Amino acid sequence: MELLKQRIREEGHVLGDKVLKVDSFLNHQIDPVLMMEVGEEFARRFADAGVTKILTIESSGIAAAMTAALKMDVKVVFARKKKSALMNEEVYMTKVHSFTKNETNEVTVLKKFLGANEKVLIIDDFLANGEAAMGLAHLVEQAGSEVVGIGIVIEKAFQDGGKRLRQHGFKVESLARIAAFTDGQVQFVEECVQA
Ligand code: 5GP
């Protein structure tokens, strides 16, 4: 998605050799116009998947999941990373190790919002090692539903997550795929293929 790649080039900050900060449009401040385009692109790429529900994880997946859900006319559920006193009902739970925070969270979804026989599209902001997406897929499996696709805004293709999810048989669509961070600059997969 060219517009997204352009924004990453212009506003992204590379931290160390593995982390990209895009807090001006995705991870802190949110650009709703760009997120609408992101949602439309997900809706286009998963148009034939028969999606009945979108599942994401708080907090940075919510914006993209929300606009995709709007376009696909389905509800969006976000898994919670911290237990809330308000979640005093039955939940599905799985453990997810956070790449950026280096901590393991018990991620939960209320059973009443993730029923059986749903066709679930998982959406997240970043794909690194695939922990978050695999955890969400595990919640879907517990519910007796099916993962029909995984939509990622930014995939860091130099990490193992994409390979892991695709080898598992999931259809993964990433709107921007990063091949490497070279001297603090983002190199997209297509640029490496052309080089
Ligand atoms: P994974 O679970 O695939 O290892 O990592 C994906 C999760 O970690 C995403 O939910 C995202 O919040 C966070 N994450 C991983 N890499 C990055 C990154 O480079 N930048 C930002 N902002 N978040 C990341």
Q: Which pLDDT tens digit goes with each residue over 108-120?
A: 999 999 999 999 9
pLDDT at 82: 85
Distance 102 CA to ligand 1 centre (A): 11
Give residues (CB < 6 A) around ligand 1. Answer: 19-21, 27, 57, 60, 98-100, 124-132, 156, 161
pLDDT at 122: 98
Indicate which residue's Cα is closest to atom 4 of ligand 1.
129
pLDDT at 185: 94
State both tokens at 50.
Answer: 């028969």
What are the structural domain ranges in the chain?
A: 2-194
Which CATH architecture does the domain made up of 2-194 adopt?
A: 3-Layer(aba) Sandwich (3.40)
Q: Please state the pTM of the whole predicted model.
A: 0.97
Q: Which of 94, 100, 136 to mutate to test the pocket of ligand 1 (most atoms within 8 A of CB)?
A: 100
Distance 161 CA to ligand 1 centre (A): 10
Distance 134 CA to ligand 1 centre (A): 13
pLDDT at 86: 72
Under-70 pLDDT residues of the chain: 193-195
* Longest distance between any two alpha carbons in the chain, whole Å: 55
